[in-house]
Amino acid sequence: MPSYTAPTKDLQFVLHDVLKVTESKTPGYDELEPDFTAAILDEAGKLTSEVLAPLNAVGDKEGCRLENGVVYTPKGFKEAFEKVKEGGWPGLDMPEQYGGQNMPYVIGTAVGEMFSAANQAFTMYQGLTHGAASAILAHGTDAQKDTYLPKMVSCEWTGTMNLTEPHCGTDLGLMRTKAVPQDDGSYKISGQKIFISSGEHDMADNIIHLVLAKIEGGPEGIKGVSLFIVPKFMVKEDGSLGERNGVSVGSIEEKMGIHGNSTCVMNYDGATGYLLGTEHKGMRAMFTMMNEARVGVGMQGLAQAEVAYQNAVIYANDRLQGRAVTGAVAPEKAADPLIVHPDIRRSLMDQKSFVEAARAFILWGATMIDAAHRADDKDADGLVSLLTPVIKGFLTDQGYDMTVKAQQVYGGHGYIEEWGMSQFTRDARIAQIYEGANGVQALDLVGRKLAQDGGKHVMAFFDLVKGFIKDNAGQDAEFDAAFLDPLKAASKDLQSAGMYFMQNGMKNPNNALAGSNDFMHMFGHVCLGLMWAKMGLAAKEALKTGSGDATFYETKLATGRYYMARQLPATALHLTRIQSGADTVMALEAANF
């Protein structure tokens, strides 16, 4: 069975050596001293590796069971969920007013990586709750907040988000679920929602569904969509639970992975719902959840890659097979361990250089979200909004590929469920699909985010990269050649792609959209390249001061050199594809595929 060790040291490196969080002006960051964050991360590391990780395979094998309208989660999930609640983990970055600990989002994100890596299906129960609570926090009335948030922040009650219907996912304007206004100000919600993660289960006293529906007589299409709070059990004035609401689970889906999470068909039969936010502005309210969820899903891509990588390393060191081509490394044994072979190393380095940079990327994004929320930093808000589809799309595409590479290290054993590597790929696969399939992320990036606020944010990104290179070049020729020059070249490729879109997308928008997936990927590579340059610099500085673990910092530099030499040059290929335009992409009649 696979194991999981929380990457506490690396998280600390990113928080303190790279992002230097305590030097930030964002309110609350001054408290994030290394000892303090280490204590939190250690505690989370223990819980995730000792309690959640061992349940990962159990959840996969057993799955969820629907019997007479009740969904039973896998054996051990309920007890583990109690431990998570006792530790106060679900409310880590939630307001104290509602029982949370008011920590910055960046800490929630660091801890969140561990939770997702240890057990993605399990962690989704609290993840969805967090998202739903955030939406209520942002758009709810005081009464709604007082009614739902204390229970949701503690995960006594869990939450869901209900968007998809059988005939529509991305295109929510086609939605059929109806909301009929009642005299008391509530609504009766009727319709069917599918793919509802954590839709029904046995781990919470109540489930608060956030449901998109159309108020009868409202505007057509997406402009007539509103968001509603629909509790599973009605909540009485005194906060106690009343009768069952008209919402029930129709079935649970049989999926490729994340078996431990109950993915439900939910039926709303005149269920009582309460408007959350403004009438017909449901998409705006839902996007509060969606943006948070998208960063969270990007993190799942990283998290599955991390745990799969850890196990691939263990196997590559254990399994004896063949001899190093340059001479036996373990002559006393019948064969050398797999890790001596260059192609195994190539695979492991791909994985290692991805997860470490992805971790820095996500945490950097989280600091911008904190700056936006806690310090009303509009620039940070704009930049992270630009980068959100990259975080979601690129990290989950790459994260999935990395789990496949980790599985491949196991040879035949990778295909056998008992070894657990298959689960990582099957679980990671969903992250490319939900919260907006990655094609939609690419569309969001190229079709909307690039031009947002007159292209201000993408210009800011380029300035940031340029400024970083300028500030740090010319001091160390090896570092310039290994890190800064490749970053400069990749960033130039990305700019050229943006230029191509501007020059050719006007006359034919397909010229931009046909390159959207490539653009998202090249943007991701430039971001990870920037992270490696920053991490390389931090490692160099640490080595200069002579404090800390020199091997750790040397390894960091070596891993960075690998990424810059072997992965970052992918931007050139993406640029070539983009510059080939839409003609070959759009050439065929639909009937001729």
218 contributes a contact to a copy of itself by CB under 8 A: no
Range in contact with a copy of itself (rule: CB under 8 A) among 242-250, 272-280, 354-362, 408-416: 408-416
Of the candidates 429, 427, 433, which has an alpha carbon nearest to the alpha carbon of residue 60? Answer: 427
Q: Which of 123, 261, 438, 504 binds a copy of itself (CB under 8 A)?
A: 438
Nearer of residues 221 and 239 to a copy of itself, judged by Cβ: 221
What are the start-end ranges of the E strands in 7-127? Answer: 65-67, 70-72
Q: Which of 185, 331, 412, 546 binds a copy of itself (CB under 8 A)?
A: 412
Q: Which of 25, 83, 346, 448 binds a copy of itself (CB under 8 A)?
A: 346
Instruction: Compute the distance between CA of residue 314 and CA of residue 325 in angstroms, rounded to an integer.
Output: 21
CB 248 within 8 A of CB 225: no
Q: Which of 87, 99, 439, 548 binds a copy of itself (CB under 8 A)?
A: 439
562 contributes a contact to a copy of itself by CB under 8 A: yes
Q: Between 40 and 79, how does the x/- string for binding to a copy of itself read (CB under 8 A)?
A: ----------------------------------------
User: Residue 558 Cβ, how far from a copy of itself at the closest point, in Å?
Assistant: 4
User: Residue 504 Cβ, how far from a copy of itself at the closest point, in Å?
Assistant: 13
User: Residue 552 Cβ, how far from a copy of itself at the closest point, in Å?
Assistant: 8
Of the candidates 345, 360, 344, 352, which has an alpha carbon nearest to the alpha carbon of residue 310? Answer: 352
219 contributes a contact to a copy of itself by CB under 8 A: no
Neighbours of 565 (CB within 10 A): 13
H-helix or E-strand containing 244? strand 241-244
User: Residue 480 Cβ, how far from a copy of itself at the closest point, in Å?
Assistant: 16
Angle at 423 between CA 390 and CA 298, to 5 degrees: 15
Q: Residue 588 gets which letter from DSSP?
A: S
Instruction: Compute the distance between CA of residue 337 and CA of residue 315 in angstroms, rounded to an integer.
Output: 9
Nearer of residues 284 and 345 to a copy of itself, judged by Cβ: 345
CB 303 within 8 A of CB 356: no
Of the candidates 371, 510, 348, which has an alpha carbon nearest to the alpha carbon of residue 443? Answer: 510
Residues 248-287 that bind a copy of itself (CB under 8 A): 253-257
Residues in the chain: 593
Instruction: Compute the distance between CA of residue 399 and CA of residue 70 in angstroms, rounded to an integer.
Output: 34
192 contributes a contact to a copy of itself by CB under 8 A: no
Instruction: Compute the distance between CA of residue 299 and CA of residue 114 in angstroms, rounded to an integer.
Output: 10
In three-state secondary structure terms, 210 is: strand
User: Residue 414 Cβ, how far from a copy of itself at the closest point, in Å?
Assistant: 6
Q: Residue 36 gets which letter from DSSP?
A: H
Q: Which of 113, 435, 541, 589 is catalytic?
A: 435
User: Residue 73 Cβ, how far from a copy of itself at the closest point, in Å?
Assistant: 19
Q: Which of 9, 65, 83, 167 binds a copy of itself (CB under 8 A)?
A: 167
Nearer of residues 232 and 556 to a copy of itself, judged by Cβ: 556
411 contributes a contact to a copy of itself by CB under 8 A: yes
CB 575 within 8 A of CB 497: yes
32 contributes a contact to a copy of itself by CB under 8 A: no
User: Residue 133 Cβ, how far from a copy of itself at the closest point, in Å?
Assistant: 24
User: Residue 417 Cβ, how far from a copy of itself at the closest point, in Å?
Assistant: 5
Nearer of residues 186 and 491 to a copy of itself, judged by Cβ: 491
195 contributes a contact to a copy of itself by CB under 8 A: yes
In three-state secondary structure terms, 129 is: helix
Based on the residue annotation, tell me whether 435 is a catalytic residue of this protein: yes
Query: Which whole-number Å values give the CA distances from 497 to 8, 76, 481, 518, 572, in the listed order?
Result: 37, 50, 24, 9, 10
Q: Which of 193, 352, 457, 540 binds a copy of itself (CB under 8 A)?
A: 352
Q: Tell me phi and psi for residue 159, to 5 degrees.
A: -130, 165
Of the candidates 270, 264, 183, which has an alpha carbon nearest to the alpha carbon of residue 228? Answer: 270
Q: Which of 1, 174, 328, 481 binds a copy of itself (CB under 8 A)?
A: 174
For residue 16, what are its two tokens? 């303190």
Q: Which of 46, 85, 280, 341 binds a copy of itself (CB under 8 A)?
A: 341
In three-state secondary structure terms, 300 is: helix
Q: Residue 514 gets which letter from DSSP?
A: T
Q: Which of 24, 186, 206, 432 binds a copy of itself (CB under 8 A)?
A: 432
Q: Between 311 and 330, how does the x/- string for binding to a copy of itself read (CB under 8 A)?
A: --x--xx--xxx--xx----
194 contributes a contact to a copy of itself by CB under 8 A: yes
573 contributes a contact to a copy of itself by CB under 8 A: yes
Residues known to be catalytic: 435
